[in-house]
Amino acid sequence: MSRKTVPLLLLLLAAALPLGVWAKGKAEKDNGAAEKPIEVSYMIRIKSGEDTTWFLQEVEKATGVRIKPNGIDANDREKVATMLATGDLPDVVVQQDNYQLYKDGLTRAISRAAIEKNMPGLTGRLNRDYPSGWLTFRIQGKQDEYVAVTGISESSFANLWYVELRQDWAEKVGLGVPNFDAKKVPMDRWGRAYYVEENMSLEWFEKLLFAFRDKDPDGNGKNDTIPLGANKLFAHSWTTLLGAFGVGQGYNLMENGKLTEWNVSNGYKEFLKLVQRWYKAGLVDREFANLDVTPAWQKIEKHIVGAFAGVNVDYADTEATKSRPPNSFLNDEDVKAGAKAVVIPPLVGPGGKQGGPIYSTLPIGVYGWAVSKKVDDAKLARILSMIDWMRAGSNETWVSSLYGQENVHFKWQGEAWKSAALPVDQKDIPAGNTKIGDFGSVYPVYRTQDRFQFIYPEWNNRFKDYILHGNGRKYEIVPYRLDLMNETKLTDVRKKYGATMDTIRDEFMFKAMTGALDIDKEWDGYVAEWLKNGGQESLNESAKAPLYDELRKGIVKY
C-alpha cells in the first residue's frame, strides 16, 4: 500500500465508524419496541391455508410483535360464537359486539392514557377530526376507559343512495333530465353512467314512469318495460323515495315536535300511499316483494327496467361490480351505440324535502379492536403501538397492510403511490412469495379520506370527494338522537321486542305497498300495535339518548 492510501483508509474508517453507530441506532429506532419479540394471538383466518403472510412477517420485523392467527374469521359467525362461548379468546378480538364481550368478562378495559401514549397516529386523527371518537366504546360510568379501540371508516359516512335511469329512453319520451350534456360528470371509466346534479321532482318522476310504461321506450314493439325496478330489500329500493318525504330509513326523527320512529311517521305514511298508487298503476315491478337483490339486478342488466331508486354509488367503477347499478344499466355495446344512463340526486318531494339516510351514522365506533382479559398492561402497550403503526402510520405501511407487497401481490393502476392498488390474482404471484400478502384481516377498518386514492379507482375517487366534501353532504338525512355510548336500554328493548316490532312493520309495509290493504283505514291500528309491542318503550329509551348533531362535534348534549 502506498503511503497516501493509508491515511485515506484511516479517514474512511473514522468516517465509517460514527456512520455505523448512527445506522445501528436508527435501525434500533425503526424496530421500535423491538427490545423483546413477543407473540400475540389474533383473530384472523388466513385464506388459502397459509401459516403467515408477507405483511405479518413485516410486522414482526418492524415491531417485534409476532402475530399468531387463530384461524377464525370474523364472518364465520358460528365459529366466533363457539370461540366466545368456550372462552378460547385470542389476545386481540375484532368483531362488533364489544360491549357484550366486556360485560361477560372476556375482555379487558383499555385506558385513554394507554391509547394516547401508544397510538399517536390514531389519537392525532381523532383529536383533529372526530372528537366523538373518544365517546365511543366507553365503559358505562367510566370517563376514560374503553371496551375497544375504534377504527375509522370515512368511506361510507354519507348518503350513498341515488336514483338512476335510462336517459336516452327518457329523452325519447320527452322527459329527459335537463342539461345532461352540460352537467354530466362521469361515474366510471367506461362511460356507463354519468352523474348530473339536477334536482328532479317526484311529479316529473311519476310522469316519466308512466311514459316508460306506455310508450315503449326501448323500441322493441312491446310494452314490457318495468318502469321502476325494486326488490325486497328496502334499502336497495326505496330509501331515496322515502327521503323525498323527509324521512330517513332506520332513524328516529322529530315530527310535529315529538320524537318518532321512521316507520310510524307521517312522512312514511305518505310514502306508502305513493308507492301503493304506483304499484297499482303498474309502475313498479310486480314481483318485487319476493325478489332477491341478484335477480332484480339481472333485470336491469337485461334492459327491462327503466329506472331504479336504490342505487348505491359506492359500487361505481369497480370491475368486480360491473353487473350492479350504477354500472349495469348499460353494457359496453350500448355505450358505443350512444345509449345514456344518468344518476341524479334523490328526488324532491312535497314540501321540497329531499335526501337519503346517511349510510353509517358516524365514521367511528362501528368496528373496534378488543383485547382479551388475559393480556397485561405491557403487552397491551405493544399491541396498541403495533396497530397504530400498521393502520395509522405511514401511507406505505397502510397500503402494504391491506394489499401486500408492491408488484408482487398488487400492482398500481396508474402512477405508483398515487393511484389505486389492484390486487393480483393468486395464481399470478411468482413462486417463492407467500400467496397472501396483506395482514389477513381488514377489520377494523381504518379508511381515511387521504387514502381513498389507493383504494378507489379514479372516477369513484372523485365521486367520493363529491359525497364527502361537496354537495353530496346536503342530501344526508340523519337521526335526531343517537345512543352512541350505549347509555340507554335501547339494546335490551330491541332484544326483547325486536322481532315482533319488525314483523309488524314489515307486514304492514309490504301489504301497503302492494295494495293489499287500505292505508288510511289501517294506519292507526298499525301504529298502535307497533307502539304496544315495544315501540313505545324503544321511543322512550331513544328520547334519553344524546342529540346526534352535537355528537358529531364531540359534544354530549341530551
Partner 1 sequence: MESGRIPAASAGPRKPPWMRRKTRGDVVFDVCNAAFLVLFALSVVYPFWTTIVTSLSTEKEATEMGLRIWIRDWTLNSYRFALSGYGNVGRAYLNSIFRTAVGTVLAVIVTILGAFPLSKRDLPGRNAVTVFILITMFFSGGLIPSYLLIRSLGLIDSRWALILPSLAAGFHIIIMRNFFMTVDKACEESAFMDGANYLQILLRIIVPLSKPVIATVALWVAVGHWNAWFDALIYINSEKKLVLQLLLRRLIQEMTLLSDPMNSFMASENTRIPSEGVKSAIVILTIGPIVALYPFLQKYFIKGVFMGSLKG
Partner 2 sequence: MIGGRRGASAHAGGGEAVVVIDDMRRRDLRRRLNKYWMLYIFLAVPVVLLALFHYVPLYGIQIAFKDYRIGVGIWGSQWNNFQHFKDFFGTPYFGRIMRNTLLISFQRLLFGFPAPIILALLLNEVGSIHFKRVVQTISYLPHFMSWVVLAAILTEVLSPQRGIVAYFYTLLGKQPPNLLMEAALFQPLLILTGIWQGVGWGTVVYLAAISSIDLELYESASIDGAGRLQRAVYITIPALYPMITILFILQTGGILNAGFDQIFNLYNPIVYEVSDIIDTYVYRVGLIDRRYDFSTAVGLFKNVFGVLLLLLTNAVVKRFSENGIW
Residues in contact with partner 2, shown as a per-residue x/- string from 517 to 536 under the rule CB under 8 A? ----------------x---
Angle, alpha carbons 549-554-558 (nearest 5°): 55
Instruction: List the one residue from 68, 112, 207, 511 that touches partner 2 (CB under 8 A).
Output: 511
> What gap in Å lies between CA 248 and CA 263, rounded to an integer?
9
- Using CB distances below 5 to 8 A depending on partner kind, what does residue 47 bind out of partner 1, partner 2, none? partner 1
As measured in angstroms, the least distance from the Cβ of 192 to partner 2 is: 25
Place of cell 397500503: 399
Alpha-carbon distances of 98 from 103, 350, 496, rounded to whole Å: 9, 42, 19
In the region spanning residues 53 to 72, those forming contacts with partner 1, defined by CB under 8 A, are 71
Residues in contact with partner 1, shown as a per-residue x/- string from 114 to 153 under the rule CB under 8 A? ---------------------------------------x
Residue 445 binds partner 1, judged by CB under 8 A? yes
Instruction: List the one residue from 68, 215, 489, 494 that touches partner 2 (CB under 8 A).
Output: 494
Alpha-carbon distances of 213 from 122, 164, 247, rounded to whole Å: 53, 17, 28
Residue 88 binds partner 2, judged by CB under 8 A? no
Instruction: List the one residue from 290, 428, 431, 521 that touches partner 2 (CB under 8 A).
Output: 290
Answer whether 194's CB lies under 8 Å from 184's CB. yes
Residues in contact with partner 2, shown as a per-residue x/- string from 370 to 409 under the rule CB under 8 A? ----------------------------------------
**Residue type for position 125:** R
Alpha-carbon distances of 243 from 159, 238, 289, 534, rounded to whole Å: 11, 9, 20, 25
Residue 415 binds partner 1, judged by CB under 8 A? no
- Using CB distances below 5 to 8 A depending on partner kind, what does residue 333 bind out of partner 2, partner 1, none? none
As measured in angstroms, the least distance from the Cβ of 429 to partner 1 is: 9
Which region among 14-22, 77-85, 109-117, 129-137 touches partner 1 (by CB under 8 A)?
77-85
- Using CB distances below 5 to 8 A depending on partner kind, what does residue 273 bind out of partner 2, partner 1, none? none
Radius of gyration of the chain (CA): 27
Answer whether 514's CB lies under 8 Å from 289's CB. yes
Instruction: Report how many residues bind partner 2 under the rule CB under 8 A.
Output: 35
In the region spanning residues 68 to 87, those forming contacts with partner 2, defined by CB under 8 A, are 77, 81, 84-85, 87
Cα dihedral: 524, 526, 531, 533 (round 10): 150
Least Cα distance to 213 among 270, 168, 309, 279 occurs for 279
> What gap in Å lies between CA 213 and CA 362, rounded to an integer?
40
Residue 301 binds partner 1, judged by CB under 8 A? yes
> What gap in Å lies between CA 400 and CA 410, rounded to an integer?
9
Instruction: List the one residue from 204, 210, 412, 510 that touches partner 2 (CB under 8 A).
Output: 510
In the region spanning residues 414 to 473, those forming contacts with partner 2, defined by CB under 8 A, are none
CB atoms within 10 A of CB 482: 22
As measured in angstroms, the least distance from the Cβ of 511 to partner 2 is: 6
First to last CA, the chain: 85
Residue 256 binds partner 1, judged by CB under 8 A? no
Residues in contact with partner 1, shown as a per-residue x/- string from 313 to 352 under the rule CB under 8 A? -xx--xxxxxxx----------------------------
Q: Which residues of 71-84 are buried (b: 16+ CB within 10 A; e: fewer)?
A: ebbbeeeebbeebb
As measured in angstroms, the least distance from the Cβ of 179 to partner 2 is: 34
Element (H, E) at 111: strand 110-111
Least Cα distance to 365 among 102, 514, 166, 146 occurs for 146
User: Cβ closer to partner 1: 111 or 323?
Assistant: 323
* List of residues 6+ apart from 355 with CB closer than 8 A: 159, 240, 243, 246, 248, 346, 474, 475, 476, 477
Residue 514 binds partner 2, judged by CB under 8 A? yes
Residues binding partner 2 (CB under 8 A): 77, 81, 84-85, 87, 103-106, 224, 226, 232, 286-287, 289-292, 295, 494-496, 498-500, 502-503, 506-507, 509-511, 514, 516, 533
Binding site for partner 1 (CB under 8 A): 47-49, 71, 75-76, 78-79, 81-82, 85-86, 153, 155-156, 160, 294-295, 298-299, 301-302, 312, 314-315, 318-324, 402, 413, 422-427, 435, 442, 445, 455-456
